[in-house]
Amino acid sequence: MAKQTFTTGQVLTAAQMTSLQQTAMGGGSATAKTASYTLVAADAGATVIMNSASATTITVNTSLFSAGDTVFIQNIGAGVSTITAGTATVSTASSLALAQYESGSLYFTAAGVSIFSKADGAAAGGGGKVLQVIQSTLVADINTTSTSFTSTGLTVTITPSLNTSKVLLLVTMNEVEKNSGGNGSAVKLELVRGGTRVYFAGDRIGHTNTDIRNNVGSVAMNHLDSPATTSATTYTVNFAQFSSGLYALINNSNSDNTCISSIIAMEIGA
């Protein structure tokens, strides 16, 4: 039950006794939240249940709780729920993020000071746990004659739930081809985060010493990145031609079959 003040000789109702029993057994009465939530004074001694498919936050402010108050938090949704210090201080020895089915408790040592203790189990953002997976695809048959890198149009945006998280990028570029027209023809590929290169696949992909077309098929670019942010982060695959005036091609199947290139971004708990 929410924290209450009782007086000497007060007779408790059946509902109050039931709620007291729930609290004594661990957790108190429960309130379900389907979006980000800011704790209120009535949450003292109660359980806050988070149930959202998307990432959420639980904000903790000062002047709402007293020393000794406890708030129990259970996440049953697929989205990671992160305890966030508003005007209060929140300290922890583990992680402030709760993955699905994880739980923890906030214990207040003062009105604006709390300690978050995660219940037993794998820590969200710990042990290499996959926190989210996002995929983007490229279907268009594209080409370029530029020797300077330009976007293929294949991008993916991911918002890490923790700034300590890694992002595992799995890229497959299909039907990568250099055209005929010169011995210097070849494809260049790179993976960038914003304007920063994080992976370079090479600048002589498909190169031959003869004036012929060369389709090298699929090129993989796999990289574990450390963006160190909780802001939306965009990764882009860029390509170019090694020699001026010649072509670099992607998804060039030359058939009735649709060719698809893809990029997968996976947030990995650090």
In the predicted model, is pLDDT for residue 15 greater than 80? Answer: no
Cα of first residue to Cα of last residue in the chain, in angstroms, is: 36
Check: CB of residue 94 under 8 Å from CB of residue 130: no
In the predicted model, is pLDDT for residue 107 greater than 90? Answer: yes
Structural domains in the chain, sorted by start: 14-118 (2.60.120), 130-268 (2.60.120.1340)
Nearest to 50 by CA among 70, 76, 85, 26: 76
In this prediction, residues 15-24 reach a mean pLDDT of: 58
pLDDT digits (tens, 9 = 90+) for 43-68: 888 889 999 999 999 999 999 999 99
Helix or strand holding residue 74 (H, E): strand 70-75
Nearest to 251 by CA among 227, 199, 215: 215
In the predicted model, is pLDDT for residue 121 greater than 70? Answer: no
Alpha-helix runs per DSSP H in the chain: 14-24
3-state secondary structure of 14: helix
In this prediction, residues 60-80 reach a mean pLDDT of: 92
- Read off the pLDDT band of 26 (50, 70, 90): very low
In the predicted model, is pLDDT for residue 255 greater than 90? Answer: no
